[in-house]
Chain A
Amino acid sequence: MEAVHGHDHAHDHHHPTGITRWLTTTNHKDIGSMYLWFSFTMFITGGILALGIRAELFQPGLQLWKPEFFNQLTTMHGLMMVFGAIMPAFVGFANWQIPLMIGASDMAFARMNNFSFWLLPPAALLLASSFFVPGGATGAGWTLYAPLSVQQGMGMDLAIFAVHIMGASSIMGSINIIVTILNMRAPGMTLMKMPLFVWTWLITAYLLIAVMPVLAGAVTMLLTDRHFGTNFFNAAGGGDPVLYQHVFWFFGHPEVYIMILPAFGIVSQVIPTFARKPLFGYASMVYATASIAILSFIVWAHHMFVTGMPAAGQLFFMYATMLIAVPTGVKVFNWVATMWKGSMTFETPMLFSVGFLFVFTMGGFTGLVCAVAPIDIQIQDTYYVVAHFHYVLVAGSLFALFSGTYFWLPKWTGHMYDEKLGKLHFWLSMIFFNMTFFVMHFLGLAGMPRRIPDYSQQFADFNMIASIGAFGFGLTQLIFLAVIIKCIKGGPKAPAKPWEGADTLEWTLPSPAPYHTFETPPVVK
């Protein structure tokens, strides 16, 4: 390697050190690491807010917070987790892995890549600092529905600017990813030979480019309604509050898939590796991903069944939504078929992927329940919906992120992680996750609305269980942090290919992956 990479090492010695290295870096690995650390920081911050929520809900009565602060907690928890934790984490994976998996030397637009990342910390600061402005952070819910969001204090404006900045970052990141994938694949790697993680990100990036501007439009209209006398969402001025919801969810539903498709990609790398068997139905996986992405544009109003749309509207959006179950089902069947007659081992990445499959599918089923409009009218805005989207976002996206982290940590750090701690992290996460969120199905069915700081007494026992589970889940994530730090600092040397069944390009590189890789593209047969 020394001989081949002599030139790189010269580079290594010249790049700036200390903070300047990170501020000015155009290296996809550095930027990927920064994305991952950023998202972990936001994950912890958003998690602390969630614990604030669960602490208040531990028992009936108002003990800790004023109702308006409780609303700020739920709102900022949502915004931080969606825009700060989950999305940037996947972009971090894209930065690290896409060039390595397609045999490219770096991302296509290296300097823009740096800018995409460095937009995020100011956005996060805007969000976090909004707690300290007069009136506090916005308490309109992460969906920022008008006219409630028009009523809010200046914390709302900070949130709007933060969303603008994060949207710009996402759009640039997506352009970078698309151009990289379409132009920089190693010779011989046709589209249908790409690893599934790359495929899912390609499709996700298109979704992002399509819908982030729509969100920017929605919050800009909010901003002008708030300060410049427009009446987009004000009936008295000829506007319509429901317009906001249409525009928001036209972004919001594809956003749901933006947060889950790359997770599908990670799981589709991990399961075949540990089953020692190729992915079942590669082509149908690609088509299913594309179908889900396309369908995601025609289902947005299923978030709005109780706004009072006409029967024809309800029927259209119900049918379209139910259709999504078909490609999603295909994916689950394909994963199970990949495991079928394999030769499986259950290291931590595999545990998290199988856990993902099991628990995400439960979220899929409750999604189907929610898709049926009459039932949705009953459970919309209840804890059933809270349970549903945490099953797909935590047990779905987050578990897949954990799986991917354990899977690629040896490549990133050059060390093996602590398998025992990893497994402990998995089992505790799984138990506490279900303890927190499973009981929320009961709460929702029995009639507990979401976003309330206090509740009537029949909901007390399940809320107490959920709160205990939430604290357990939160503390468990410290194990994850410990595993990461331990793995970066040392541990058994990782071989180039620590997983027997791995077959993508990144495993042909030494561990840790050198600072510059694939300067001469590999040839894929």
Chain B
Amino acid sequence: MKKLSLIALATAMCLSGGIAAASRYGLQDPQTSIARDIYSLHTLILWICVVIFVAVFGAMFYSIFKHRKSVGHKAAHFHENTTVEVIWTVIPFVILLGMAYPATKTIIEMKDTSNPDLTIKATGYQWKWGYEYIKGEGSLTGVSDGVSFYSNLSTPQEQIHDPKVQKGENYLLEVDNELVVPVGKKVRILTTAADVIHAFWVPAFGVKQDAIPGFIRDTWFKVDQPGVYRGQCAELCGKEHGFMPIVVRAVSEEEFKDWASKQKPAAVAAAPAADATQVAAVAPAADATAAAAGPVDGKKTYEGLCAACHGAGIAGAPKVGDKAAWTARLAQGDATLAKHAIEGIRAMPAKGGNPALSDAEVKAAVEHMVGLSK
């Protein structure tokens, strides 16, 4: 029974940890309303489980000590009791209803990504994150539009590989460029990936969302307090999966605006490829031109769809920026190119496989690509 007391002790530690909000034994200190909901849901269910656990195993251990042959207990011979069986089927069902109600409310809140103040696209790469502050609805639109950067692990390699080197305080949870967000504002995160599935996870925000190549998913958070919050990629994505942390710095709105204005010119000039949505990441150089010259809609369509094949020259698609591949095609004239793109040609499906696009959007995308490839 030593084990039992060990487990009881550990369970008690777990609980007291939870109550004292010490992240050591329980969930991290919640920093958003969603994380708080998750935290209290977990506490509620843990307590319900503890009560049931004590009741069931109290009975079992009582039986183990009292109803054993060595103390001379004679076996009874009952083997069913419909009333009891109905009771212990119905009661758990009712308890489950009690758990499902708050859980349902939380799910609906988590899924409500409407009316954000700021929208940021997080792109998972093997093995780093790319962030792009994009134009969207909300009070902070315009402040940081177009700011984009990569975020790499900044822990020195020798700390990882050399046991003699002292590891830093935020070992493996530190990056070169932190994601900066304003406190008290609803931030919508769009996730996608360039290669394999990653997952954007910040435990203190109660936010975890897979980043899936070729698709956009979204989630949101509104941070209460300024501070630095650390998370990690949560979906196995290859060899450096353990080495692509997420660090979010939450600052006041003023500081955020200040930070954004400093980032913007530099970001446009350098314009890393953080905004490539699709399987094939576009070369940073091509992207810089795009940011400067390309018509906005065409660029968006290109990056969201066409770049999947034209970015890398997949399935016979002429690669954007590859002059040789484009010369013969350009000779056919813009109208023919647009027609082919709208109707589909060879391996290319009509409108690149997205019938929701208007002809004008496809044309704009073609013009954008032509502009990059002349």
Residues of A whose CB lies within 8 Å of any CB of B are 60-63, 66-68, 71, 139-141, 145, 147-148, 151, 234-238, 240-242, 275-284, 306-308, 310-311, 314-315, 318-319, 322-323, 325-326, 329-330, 332-333, 336-346, 354, 357-358, 361-362, 365, 368-369, 372-375, 377-378, 380-382, 427, 430-431, 434, 438-439, 441-442, 445-447, 449, 451-458
Contact A374 B60 (CB under 8 A): no
Residues of chain B lying within 8 A (CB to CB) of residue A141:
236
CB < 8 Å neighbour of A340 from B38, B63, B309: B63
Residues of chain B lying within 8 A (CB to CB) of residue A283:
80
Residues of chain A lying within 8 A (CB to CB) of residue B63:
336, 339-342, 344
Total A-B Cβ pairs within 8 A:
300
CB distance from B163 to the nearest CB of A (A): 6
Contact A374 B173 (CB under 8 A): no
CB < 8 Å neighbour of A343 from B24, B26, B73: B73
Contact B24 A442 (CB under 8 A): yes
Provided the pairs A381-B235, A442-B14, A449-B201 are in contact, do residues A374 and B103 lie with their beta carbons within 8 angstroms?
yes
Contact B84 A361 (CB under 8 A): no
Contact A449 B196 (CB under 8 A): no
Mark interface residues in B8-27 (1 if CB within 8 Å of A CB, else 0).
00100010010000011111
Contact B242 A343 (CB under 8 A): no
Residues of chain A lying within 8 A (CB to CB) of residue B237:
148
Residues of chain A lying within 8 A (CB to CB) of residue B24:
442, 446, 458
Q: Enumerate B254-309 residues with CB–CB distance to A below 8 Å.
A: 278-280, 308-309
CB < 8 Å neighbour of A236 from B69, B108, B278: B278
* Residue B356 is within 8 A (CB to CB) of chain A in the complex: no
In the bound complex, CA of A428 to CA of B177 (Å): 48
* Residue B335 is within 8 A (CB to CB) of chain A in the complex: no
CB distance from B313 to the nearest CB of A (A): 12
* Residue B46 is within 8 A (CB to CB) of chain A in the complex: yes
Provided the pairs A340-B63, A341-B75 are in contact, do residues A452 and B241 lie with their beta carbons within 8 angstroms?
yes
Q: Enumerate B174-212 residues with CB–CB distance to A below 8 Å.
A: 191, 195-197, 199, 201, 203, 206, 208-210, 212
* Interface 9-mer from B140-148, B164-172, B320-328, B364-372: B164-172
Contact A344 B308 (CB under 8 A): no
Extra 6 A-B pairs, beta carbons < 8 Å, given A283-B80, A345-B69: A139-B238, A277-B77, A319-B100, A374-B206, A380-B234, A452-B232
In the bound complex, CA of A446 to CA of B63 (Å): 37
In the bound complex, CA of A306 to CA of B213 (Å): 14
* Residue B28 is within 8 A (CB to CB) of chain A in the complex: yes
Q: Enumerate B39-91 residues with CB–CB distance to A below 8 Å.
A: 41-42, 45-46, 49, 52-53, 56-57, 59-60, 63-64, 67-70, 73-80, 84-85, 88-89
Residues of chain A lying within 8 A (CB to CB) of residue B316:
none
CB < 8 Å neighbour of A339 from B26, B45, B67, B173: B67
Contact A306 B210 (CB under 8 A): yes
* Residue B138 is within 8 A (CB to CB) of chain A in the complex: no
CB < 8 Å neighbour of B88 from A67, A307, A330, A375: A330
Provided the pairs A315-B104, A449-B242 are in contact, do residues A378 and B309 lie with their beta carbons within 8 angstroms?
no
* Most B CB within 10 A of own CB, among A62, A139, A343: A343
Contact A449 B234 (CB under 8 A): yes
22 contacts between A and B (CB under 8 A): A145-B197, A147-B195, A235-B279, A276-B75, A311-B111, A322-B96, A326-B93, A340-B67, A344-B64, A354-B60, A368-B45, A375-B38, A375-B103, A431-B3, A431-B6, A434-B3, A442-B26, A446-B24, A446-B25, A447-B203, A453-B242, A456-B173
Mark interface residues in B214-232 (1 if CB within 8 Å of A CB, else 0).
1101110000000000011
Interface pairs A-B: 6 shortest CB-CB: A235-B214, A452-B242, A308-B217, A236-B308, A343-B75, A68-B239
Residues of chain B lying within 8 A (CB to CB) of residue A340:
59, 63, 67
Residues of chain A lying within 8 A (CB to CB) of residue B309:
236
Contact A66 B239 (CB under 8 A): yes
Residues of chain B lying within 8 A (CB to CB) of residue A151:
195-196, 238
Contact B208 A374 (CB under 8 A): no
Provided the pairs A151-B238, A340-B59 are in contact, do residues A361 and B163 lie with their beta carbons within 8 angstroms?
no
Provided the pairs A333-B88, A446-B28 are in contact, do residues A380 and B208 lie with their beta carbons within 8 angstroms?
yes
Residues of chain A lying within 8 A (CB to CB) of residue B239:
66-68, 71, 139
* Residue B360 is within 8 A (CB to CB) of chain A in the complex: no
Residues of chain A lying within 8 A (CB to CB) of residue B67:
275, 339-344
Contact A341 B76 (CB under 8 A): yes
Contact A374 B28 (CB under 8 A): no
Contact B96 A307 (CB under 8 A): no
CB distance from B217 to the nearest CB of A (A): 3
CB distance from B36 to the nearest CB of A (A): 11
Residues of chain A lying within 8 A (CB to CB) of residue B107:
311, 314-315, 318, 373-374
Residues of chain B lying within 8 A (CB to CB) of residue A236:
214, 278-280, 308-309, 314
Provided the pairs A148-B196, A342-B76 are in contact, do residues A374 and B110 lie with their beta carbons within 8 angstroms?
yes
Residues of chain A lying within 8 A (CB to CB) of residue B201:
381, 449
Provided the pairs A235-B279, A378-B38 are in contact, do residues A140 and B236 lie with their beta carbons within 8 angstroms?
yes
Provided the pairs A235-B279, A326-B96, A378-B203 are in contact, do residues A148 and B238 lie with their beta carbons within 8 angstroms?
yes
CB distance from B69 to the nearest CB of A (A): 5
Residues of chain B lying within 8 A (CB to CB) of residue A361:
53, 56-57
* Residue B252 is within 8 A (CB to CB) of chain A in the complex: no
CB distance from B205 to the nearest CB of A (A): 10
* Residue B357 is within 8 A (CB to CB) of chain A in the complex: no
Contact B64 A339 (CB under 8 A): yes
CB < 8 Å neighbour of A381 from B110, B160, B217, B234: B234
Contact A148 B79 (CB under 8 A): no
Mark interface residues in B331-343 (1 if CB within 8 Å of A CB, else 0).
0000000000000
In the bound complex, CA of A279 to CA of B311 (Å): 66
Contact A284 B85 (CB under 8 A): yes
CB distance from A23 to the nearest CB of B (A): 40
Provided the pairs A242-B212, A458-B24 are in contact, do residues A358 and B100 lie with their beta carbons within 8 angstroms?
no
In the bound complex, CA of A339 to CA of B76 (Å): 10
In the bound complex, CA of A380 to CA of B349 (Å): 37
Across the interface, name the chain A residue whose C-beta is closest to B198.
A148
Contact A446 B23 (CB under 8 A): yes
CB < 8 Å neighbour of B60 from A237, A282, A339, A441: A339
